[in-house]
Structure 1
Amino acid sequence: MRILHTSDWHLGRQFHGLSLEEDHDHVLVQILSIIDDHRPDVVIVAGDIFDRANPPQGAIRRLSEFLTTVRAISDAAIVLIAGNHDSAAQIGAMGVLANDGEAIVRGPLDEDERPLIISDAHGPVAISALPFAFEYAARLCFEDDGIASPADVIRAQIASARKHIGDDMRWVVVAHAFVDGAATSESERPLVRTVGGIETVSATAFDRAHYVALGHLHRPQSVGHDHIRYSGAPLAFGFDEEGQEKSVSLIDLAPDGSVEVTVMPIKPLRQVRSIRGKLLELLAATGVSHDLVRVVLTDETPQIDPMKRIREFYPNAVQLAYDRNERPVAQRLEEQRAAIDDPQTLASTFLEFVRGDALSETEAGIVASALHAFETTEEGQ
């Protein structure tokens, strides 16, 4: 059986105030093309479909059009779950959009987690779709006051789901969680609401599952075992994701339950990247780039209205920093102390800050002469 696994679309999200609508359209067209070309039996979206609980109408329309197109081009079963950014009630209502064929859509928790069961030539495959929920909601659903962490929530969901898994079934679990040992990104929201709370879940919580389709973390990765996997987000949402190759995962589930993972690259409409250099060097660049850009200036002195000038060539520049401010605090303090101990360097640094130019050779001579006269006067006292 072939499964397409994707997650963390964050429809409706902005990047430092810039709309990502066209970027999302570009990504969804590629995912639909992969579905059309590779004919998966199941399409999984493992949570964080939207970026917030009350998404804009454009985001809802994109999901609706995606599901309608999946139904038109394939016979794939559809599996959707709510993530921590989603409204559980809203995702639950999305089941209406996927009801023309086999589908399982989970928004709110269910104390009786019944799977979607589909069959291929080698027998039945059970798919348990476990939506994200905070501890308080799980305590009410499962009537268990001992649920105190995300791991407890997952364990309660798995225990409920496992009751419906026969010995003759291959088992796929879809969940939105932070599994121990996985690599994070800056743009992910914590799964706990208490300071110091433990948000990670052990991979052993998914024992007996043949494939675990995870959402929440934005880096594509397997955790501990090939069959426990994050597909990752198909778009970069932070500059720490610069250079990451985004993708969706095609999973071939063998008759014995083993899996083969094929990574299908997704090419962004715009790259997320940092550029570095002196302002005049960056302004000398040929052509205009529409990438989402962070600018790091290596000029020693502040520049006049640098962002306005940079946006003539990089209209989607969204962050500006000076390299000198990014050096470790201890290093900057040491440099400042060294300058204080060397009056000539201190004078040169001051003039460069005030007027933009360091001491000229003639001025350096004047300063050196004045310092020497001062030292001679002090020695004579």
Structure 2
Amino acid sequence: MRMLHVSDWHIGRSVVGGHSRYAEFEAVLAEIADIAREVKPDLIVNTGDLFDRSPPAAADLGLGIRALVELAGVAPTVLVGGNHDSPALLQALDTLVNALPVGDDGRPPRLRFIAPAAPAATAAPAATAAMSGILTFPTADGHRIRLAPLPFVHRNRALAACDRPDEAGRVYARYLRQLQQDLAGRLRAGHDPEHDVLILAAHLFVEGAVPSWSERPLDITQDYACQADALPDITYCALGHIHKPQAIGRAGITARYAGSPLQLDFGEEGETKSVVLVEATPGRPTRVETIALRSGRRLMTFTGDLQRLADQAHDFGDAFVKAVIEVDGPGLGLGLSATVRAIIPRATIVGLDERLPGWQDVPVLDAHSDISPEPELTELFRDYLTETGVAPHHADQLQQAFAGLLTAADHDAVTDPVEQMLRDALPAGHDHL
């Protein structure tokens, strides 16, 4: 069998300063479709974070759907939801594309959306694993793919019975282990070792994986990492969530993060983006090939004087650039920007600073900082409640109340409570305070 593994598209992500990357996403998704047509896979798996924002902008939603439909025209395609994906949106999309009956050949739907479960007060591991059943797909060589999807599991689903915040990480890790054991057992139940290949498609953070630091920081803490030895020993574990393409170095398994298709922010500078082609035959070792992606603009940083910038000008091309220019003395001021742009005219300058001799670089943002657009207030409040150890059933109630307060605060017609009390106290016929 042949399977194409892609991940973490994050459609809608912009570069610091609000520079749109829509055209780049169009180009790289078209490139992925071309690769799919060339390699002719039996199955295409996207391991989550289709969009960067929940909900996505209308144009981004349209682009993502068109890209998935194009892939589904090549081979059956499964999207396993990530932490950036809206469960309600993915459920709606899955209902929409699978509302019609399958064809006369009885083959499974060509496009499936496996939504993450929303944070809940209580959820047994078996119940969460049952969010989606084992999917099966025939292959061109007469074999069969059995796929176990594991969308992103929020910590609140594991911590209902956890009363001690210092044990939350261990409880979550045990929960993920139980989920994967359950899925592996269901994969193996009734499978034919001479005809079936077994695949896990999961959106999670595995210990030892190297982040790009463009991921959402609260979702890649080591305290909540999935233990590497919890991954099942099956044909292939397709992983999403980490943007740096990489294999998981654990003996006895074949597991890989496909990574993001573009350099999403400066934590990914220098990374070569790729998709993963997996070839497997029952009873034989799995073969994995990474296919480099060439679309998209690079993100580059520069530190040095103007002469050094001029010497390296040909390296920048149309990149997004953050530059620190070392100068002999003050005085360039606003002219510095014009000078830099004249030296690298095709590049887009998204950050520019001037340093005098002897400067000591003490950055406000380090390499681990997430310079992507800030999460929504409701997301930050949810993560705060989780980190502080609030019981999930209480956290859900607090989240609902908090969302209600935000809605009220945003409403144009909201009246100040004190003002309303004074109005109520006025005699009839008096309209002014």
TM-score under structure 2 length normalisation: 0.67
| 8 A contact 1:8–1:215 mirrored in 2 | yes
**Residue deviations 1:60-84 (CA, integer Å, cap 9, x gap):** 1011111222233x2x121111111
The residue that corresponds to 1:87 in the other structure is: 86
SS at match of 2:254: strand
**Worse-matched range after superposition: 154-163 or 217-226:** 154-163
| 8 A contact 1:103–1:116 mirrored in 2 | no
Distance change (3 Å), C-alpha of 1:125 and 1:92: same
- Report the residue type matching 1:118 in the other structure: F
Instruction: Write the mapping of 1:160-199 to structure 2, written as runs, cut at 5 A.
Output: 160-165=182-187, 166=189, 167-168=191-192, 169-192=196-219, 198-199=223-224
Distance change (3 Å), C-alpha of 1:288 and 1:238: closer
The residue that corresponds to 1:115 in the other structure is: 134
Distance change (3 Å), C-alpha of 1:84 and 1:250: same
| 8 A contact 1:122–1:255 mirrored in 2 | no
Is residue 154 of structure 2 the alignment partner of residue 134 of structure 1? yes
The residue that corresponds to 1:211 in the other structure is: 236
| 8 A contact 1:125–1:171 mirrored in 2 | yes
The residue that corresponds to 1:311 in the other structure is: 341
Distance change (3 Å), C-alpha of 1:65 and 1:104: closer
**Residue deviations 1:72-111 (CA, integer Å, cap 9, x gap):** 3x2x121111111111221222224653734442113344
- Identity of counterpart residues, as a percentage? 30
1:158 to 180, 188, 203: 180
- Report the residue type matching 1:90 in the other structure: L
Instruction: Write the mapping of 1:219-298 to structure 2, written as runs, cut at 5 A.
Output: 219-225=244-250, 227-256=254-283, 258-279=285-306, 282=309, 289-298=317-326
CA distance in 1, matches of 2:174, 2:50: 24
Rg (Cα) greater in structure: 1
| 8 A contact 1:171–1:208 mirrored in 2 | no
SS at match of 1:178: coil
CA distance in 1, matches of 2:229, 2:95: 34
**Residue deviations 1:337-370 (CA, integer Å, cap 9, x gap):** xxxxxxxxxxxxxxxxxxxxxxxxxxxxxxxxxx
CA distance in 2, matches of 1:253, 1:286: 43
The residue that corresponds to 1:44 in the other structure is: 45
Unaligned runs of 5+ in 2: 103-108, 118-127, 364-433
**Residue deviations 1:137-171 (CA, integer Å, cap 9, x gap):** 3567xxx7699445244224324423422242432
SS at match of 1:243: coil
Distance change (3 Å), C-alpha of 1:287 and 1:91: same
CA distance in 1, matches of 2:230, 2:298: 37
Distance change (3 Å), C-alpha of 1:122 and 1:254: same
| 8 A contact 1:47–1:216 mirrored in 2 | yes
CA distance in 2, matches of 1:6, 1:232: 7
The residue that corresponds to 1:70 in the other structure is: 71
* Root mean square deviation, CA, Å: 2.9
The residue that corresponds to 1:375 in the other structure is: none
CA distance in 1, matches of 2:142, 2:218: 38
Matched positions, count: 322
| 8 A contact 1:81–1:91 mirrored in 2 | no
**Worse-matched range after superposition: 36-45 or 270-279:** 270-279
Unaligned runs of 5+ in 1: 330-381
Distance change (3 Å), C-alpha of 1:103 and 1:139: farther
The residue that corresponds to 2:412 in the other structure is: none
CA distance in 2, matches of 1:259, 1:203: 19
The residue that corresponds to 1:374 in the other structure is: none
Distance change (3 Å), C-alpha of 1:83 and 1:202: same
- Per residue, is there more strand in 1 or in 2? 1
CA distance in 1, matches of 2:113, 2:158: 18
CA distance in 2, matches of 1:160, 1:239: 38
The residue that corresponds to 1:30 in the other structure is: 31
